[in-house]
Structure 1
Amino acid sequence: MGGSGGVKPEGRLLVAGGYASEAGVRPDNQDFAGFYSATELERIRHGMIAAVADGVGGAKGGRVAAELAVRALIDGFYCQPDTIGAAAAAHAVMGAFNRWLCAMGRSDAMEHAATTFTACVLKGRKGHVLHVGDSRAWHFRDGRLTQLTQDHTRSHPDQRHILYRALGIEERLRLDHHQIALAEHDRILLTSDGVHGTLSGRRLEKLMGARNSADADAAAIVEAALDAGSQDNATAVVLDIVTLPALGHDSLAGDIDRLPILPPPGEGESIDGFRLDSLLSDGRYTRLFRATDTVNGQAVVIKFPKPSLLSESGAKLAFTREILVGSRVASPFVGDVIAVPQERQSQLYGVQPFHEGQTLEQRLSSPISLEEGLSIAIRLTRAVAALHKLDIIHRDIKPDNVILTHDGGLKLIDLGVARLPRIDEFAQNEIPGTPSYLAPEMFTGNLGDEQTDLFALGVTFWRIFTKRYPYGEVEAFSRPRFRKAELPSIYRPELPAWLDSMLTRSVAIDPDERFGDAVELLRALEGGAAVARVNQRVVPLIERDPARFWQLVSLVLFIALVFALVTR
């Protein structure tokens, strides 16, 4: 039996970190940098930390303040509850340290001690930047470097060296917090002002684009700053995002919850760099466009919710589910999703790859041979088996949701109505499905399970092989009366007996009389197809045309009788 797909690798947060720090022309180094990769459990619960601090020049204990700031964060962060979030945990630790530093700054031992502070906490698929002062954090992706922080210095050109916010300056700490969605191969850069005060953003971008090891590129950045004439200590920390954990529902739902639901746009408009080239469908709850991502030229499909017909919670649930399923299921027969960077997306929509081809519903407008029908049925069942393996129930299997690609592939799409384990359910009036494909038990309160998916799959098979619905087409909002279905071979006499039986069993009114699961159904299909291939000889005339066969037999017997009488 062919494989049915499986789970995409869950992965884990894996980061390669490197740093370099040099005194330069200064007699001593007031900067301090640290990177703590954490244990596996600490990474899951809290994340990993990198930080840069730059002791304020001219103050006693500037270097001590910088080093203690970084060490305080690393030591105290993992003692905080993991339920309060990275930003709150970091603020709790550094708020206490700031109060202590302010008190020490009033003593002779550390008079006026203060330090800048920029840290990055990497947790799950997000980066949290905590910042005060004029050290900086940067984000490097696809060859472009973006500054994440703003300097807390005076705006006058002659006073830009004067800090108005830093650790030890104010009794009440105000840490800026910037959150970014991470992607594999991203790079995070932290710098002291001895680096970015000399090197432009464009120069740093080029150095980050070298893509050597994190240690090598951090050292190259510091060396370049000193060679360019930096008069301050120079420090750089480089973090390379190697792998990320799989998308989680809570974090994804949080990202989607911030997106407004706006009326769907029209053909020819542009949204967040996506040019809407043509309208593909305008359904009851969503509007689909073929579009072009002007950033990379990729052809995509964009789905927009219709807020007038679908509640805000229902729409956000649907899009959360589609992204989760697309990110977790590894099957060539299940549609993928394309993650849009959080900073790019301004409203709620979903993006998928565009596949050249036609829907199965469109294909049904012309005859489908038994061989082609079996090929489609097998691949579609593999898609459903891959979903069920992860306890995901599609709930809207039908020909409209199956793409047959021009290269011979198949994609089961529209995963936004899927039922996922431990995920919030839709409101009762928004339970999805298409009436003609709903199993009888769904009309009496069943919200969807493996058996209801198998029933919808069976109805789809009936459409493929007979062009009919087993119980007739059901109008929206009507309650059908299920009676024993006719044999499929009545509508298509050349169906082999095993396929006739399989189609009948797949849409049995009683769930217990259907196939046990998608794998059992797949075995029946693949076994029957194998037999059909072995028997691909000339079909006997008695099977192809019984009337003609008996007419010929009668003719032969008549000729034999005449011959016998003549020769007697």
Structure 2
Amino acid sequence: MTKALQEQPNQSTALHVEMACASIAGLKPVNEDAVNTQVPDNDHDLVNKGVCVVIADGVSSAEAGKQASQYSVETFLTEYFRTPDTWSVKHAGQKTLSSINLNLFKKSHAFTQQEKGFLCTFTAVVLKSCTTHFFHAGDSRLYRFRQNELTQLTRDHTVNLGGGKNILSRAVGMDNVLQIDYGKSVSEQGDLLLLSTDGIHDFVSQESLARVLSSNVSIQNMCDQLIALAQQANSDDNISCAIAQIINLPEESRDDLNAKLTRLPFPPDLAPGMKLDGYRIDKELFASSRSQVYLITDIQSQQQMVMKTPSINFQDDVHYIDRFIQEEWIGKRISSPRVVNIISQHRDRTCLYYLMEYVPGISLDRWMQENPLPTPKKAIGIVKQIAQALAAFHRSETIHQDLKPSNIIIDDDMNIKVIDFGSVFVAGIAEIFIPLEHLGALGTASYSDPHYLQGKNTGVQGDIYALATITYELFTGHLPYGEKIEQCAHSLDFDKLRYVPASSYNPIIPVWFDRALEKGVSFDLANRYTRLQDFVDDVTQPNPVFLQDDPVVQQSRGLIFWQLMSAFWVVMLVLVVILFSTSS
């Protein structure tokens, strides 16, 4: 596989990089390498994100090395460019890779046999402004060719077993926490950056690499020459490489802009009619102590959208700022018609905010007030859509944690969208939430898993609890444990609560449906659903298990049996005593 050259228009004040790559299976039947490049299609992302080239080598002893390398390359190129502009390259790259690593690690541990799973080496280069950034794990390599001198910028993560045999000591998907090498250096015009897998650099000498990179040919031709040299040297592995050539660097003042973007100021108080960065404020939709939400219009396109701004109360709180910035990134990672769409901005921001699509309609809590006890068909339709939204979060290794009716918009056609990302947990990057855990739970007591409210992340089961609670409320107009749950703070408080059968509020609710709800909101995690789809299935069709006799009834029948047996033995004892007395 040879990829065509990627480049940007040659502008004297802009970053201009040409990139090319090539990859073949070589003597192996399957090509487990993956390589690709990404150039933004707009100047805004070119300035704020730069350009990127990535290479990965699937571990041959792993069962799914090919899938791991392809997933890592494609996901990094997608997710890195979705991270907030306000994140540094290092922060954005590390968080993206942490999420990729944890996903592969979970897949790897789905196998029971040793050395089976999703593992790959990984090397990525991000060229932004006047700086070269790289991320690296494994034994793929990054070289820089500058002024006829070839320098290896990465180190191989291998252990020598003797006899010329090396094994990887680090790879993406190998551990639940990825130790990634990060480095950066000042870029120079004319730099050539070579990324290669061991199918090349284990068989082609550095002198030969330098000779090819110094030749007066296109970088695509260089890639093809390196592939050919590895084949001539009898490379017995997949053979892949990529080359990035810096044609032009932006003015040095771009670095000042990048530094500025890492900490934007909070916006001023906004009012209808005011303008900010080309957007007109139409009206305030929502305001709380933590944030404000406005309906706005893009003056240039006349598109209506929603702007969310941070509360001035937290302008000195670095953890709050990081969480607010993260909301935009999380929203961009999740693609679903049931989740509000985050709008990518192509104009520089002068202050901190992010944009979302405008979703007409009302909140689900208000809808339930206006439509008490809707028909089962309508209610189940809403439940299914909310489950689809949660499934989109879970596919991205993301837990919502604060699902509630006020965070769900429903329109006149009964379509819903989840609109809030303020309390989400992203697997693989949990370290950014640790300082906030001391500030108390961010969820709402009526709908959030009590375990979460006490500081324990129950993952998917926590979102199932919230969905089951909303389902209960849709069908009854009440909460499954009553209003007292709002006052609960400790485990002893929750232990005093008892599930109120849904049928006591709505007598048409069948027993199988009620038992599905009870299982969905169980405080005991061993009894609660572990899969979202299982809950949806059990509230849409009868589960035969829930149609069996109530275990409590069975227990009471057993108790009656033993009571009768005890009475029998008492009677027998009395008769024996009487007979003994008569015979005496």
Q: TM-score, normalised by structure 2?
A: 0.51
**Contact conserved, 1:257 with 1:316, CA < 8 A, in 2?**
no
- Return the match for 1:308 from 313, 324, 334: 313
Cross-structure match for 2:399: 393
> In the superposition, relative to structure 1, how do residues 34 and 255 fare at CA in structure 2: closer, same or farther (>3 Å)?
closer
Shift of residue 499, structure 1, vs aligned partner = 1.9
**Contact conserved, 1:275 with 1:293, CA < 8 A, in 2?**
yes
Shift of residue 507, structure 1, vs aligned partner = 0.9
Cross-structure match for 1:359: 363
Shift of residue 413, structure 1, vs aligned partner = 1.9
Aligned runs of 1:36-435 on 2, under 5 Å? 36-38=19-21, 40=35, 43-44=53-54, 45-47=124-126, 79-80=152-153, 83-85=182-184, 88-90=186-188, 131=249, 177=254, 257-262=262-267, 264-309=269-314, 312-341=317-346, 343-365=347-369, 366-367=371-372, 368-423=374-429, 424-425=432-433, 426-427=435-436, 428-429=438-439, 431-435=441-445
Structure 2 CA distance, aligned partners of 1:459 and 1:519?
A: 16
Q: Does 1:481 align with 2:494?
A: yes
Structure 2 CA distance, aligned partners of 1:527 and 1:386?
A: 23
Structure 1 CA distance, aligned partners of 2:257 and 2:4?
A: 17
* Two-structure CA RMSD over aligned residues (Å): 3.8
Letter in 1 for 2:20: S
- Please give the secondary structure, in 1, of the residue aligned with 2:343: coil
Give the number of equivalent residue pairs: 339
> In the superposition, relative to structure 1, how do residues 301 and 363 fare at CA in structure 2: closer, same or farther (>3 Å)?
same
Structure 2 CA distance, aligned partners of 1:310 and 1:437?
A: 29
> In the superposition, relative to structure 1, how do residues 439 and 75 fare at CA in structure 2: closer, same or farther (>3 Å)?
farther
Structure 2 CA distance, aligned partners of 1:318 and 1:455?
A: 24
> In the superposition, relative to structure 1, how do residues 257 and 374 fare at CA in structure 2: closer, same or farther (>3 Å)?
same
Letter in 1 for 2:521: V
**Contact conserved, 1:288 with 1:304, CA < 8 A, in 2?**
yes
Shift of residue 407, structure 1, vs aligned partner = 3.9
- Return the match for 2:520 from 496, 506, 514: 506
Shift of residue 76, structure 1, vs aligned partner = 6.3
Structure 1, unaligned stretches of length 5 or more?
1-12, 21-32, 52-70, 95-126, 132-147, 150-174, 182-253, 530-568
How many percent identity over aligned positions?
22
Structure 2 CA distance, aligned partners of 1:385 and 1:270?
A: 37
Deviations 1:481-515 (A, max 9, x none): 34221101111111233222222211112121111
- Please give the secondary structure, in 2, of the residue aligned with 1:432: coil
Shift of residue 310, structure 1, vs aligned partner = 7.5
**Contact conserved, 1:275 with 1:292, CA < 8 A, in 2?**
yes
Structure exhibiting the larger radius of gyration computed from Cα positions: 1
Cross-structure match for 1:470: 480
- Please give the secondary structure, in 2, of the residue aligned with 1:417: coil
**Contact conserved, 2:409 with 2:419, CA < 8 A, in 1?**
yes
Letter in 1 for 2:538: A
Letter in 2 for 1:46: V
Structure 2 CA distance, aligned partners of 1:520 and 1:74?
A: 62
Shift of residue 451, structure 1, vs aligned partner = 1.4
> In the superposition, relative to structure 1, how do residues 180 and 369 fare at CA in structure 2: closer, same or farther (>3 Å)?
farther
Q: Does 1:437 align with 2:535?
A: no
> In the superposition, relative to structure 1, how do residues 36 and 344 fare at CA in structure 2: closer, same or farther (>3 Å)?
closer
**Contact conserved, 2:280 with 2:298, CA < 8 A, in 1?**
yes
- Please give the secondary structure, in 2, of the residue aligned with 1:511: coil
**Contact conserved, 1:466 with 1:488, CA < 8 A, in 2?**
yes
Structure 2, unaligned stretches of length 5 or more?
11-15, 23-34, 38-52, 55-123, 131-143, 155-180, 193-244, 544-584
> In the superposition, relative to structure 1, how do residues 128 and 528 fare at CA in structure 2: closer, same or farther (>3 Å)?
farther
- Please give the secondary structure, in 2, of the residue aligned with 1:292: strand
Q: After the TM superposition, which of the residue ranges 286-295 and 392-401 deviates more from structure 2? A: 286-295
Structure 1 CA distance, aligned partners of 2:316 and 2:128?
A: 40
Cross-structure match for 1:522: 536
